[in-house]
Amino acid sequence: MYVSVTGLKPKGLIGWIRFWKLTIPASKGAQKADGILHCAFNSRNGYQHTLTVWKSKKYMMSYLTSPAHLKAMKNFSKIGSGKVYGYESNSIPSWEKALAKWDKNGLIH
C-alpha cells in the first residue's frame, strides 16, 4: 500500500475561499479514484490534512494527474503553505502515526 499525507494551511480569507473551491473537487475525485483504499480529512494546528491510502504508488500517481488534483496543486501556493509526504506501508496508519511521519519527513510545497 502507498500512504500519502498532505497538510495545507490556508492564508487569510482568500486562501480559505480558494482552498474550498479547489479541494472539494479534488477530494471527491480522490474518494472515487481507482485504487483508493482509504481517504480521510482532519484539521490540526491550522493545517487541513488529507490522508489517502492506495493499493500502490502507481494508483496514487494516476490520481495526481487527474484534472481536479492538477488544478489544486497548480494553485497550492496561492492557497497557503504546507507539506506532503508519501510512503509505503503494510497497513492503514492511524492519524497519529501518519501525522508523526508528516511532521518529521514532509516536504514543503
What are the residue boundaries of the structural domains of the chain, listed by start? Answer: 2-108
- Predicted model pTM: 0.91
7: Cβ–Cβ under 8 A, 6 or more apart, which residues?
Answer: 44, 47, 48, 49, 82, 83, 84, 99, 102, 106
Question: Taking Cα atoms as reference points, which of 99, 83, 91 lies closest to residue 41?
Answer: 99
- Nearest-5° angle of CA 34, CA 36, CA 38? 160
Indicate the CATH number of 2-108 among 3.30.70.100, 3.40.50.2300, 3.90.79.10, 3.60.15.10. Answer: 3.30.70.100
Question: pLDDT in tens for each of the 109 residues of the chain?
Answer: 999 999 999 999 999 999 999 988 999 999 999 999 999 999 999 999 999 999 999 999 999 999 989 998 898 889 999 999 999 999 999 999 999 999 999 998 7
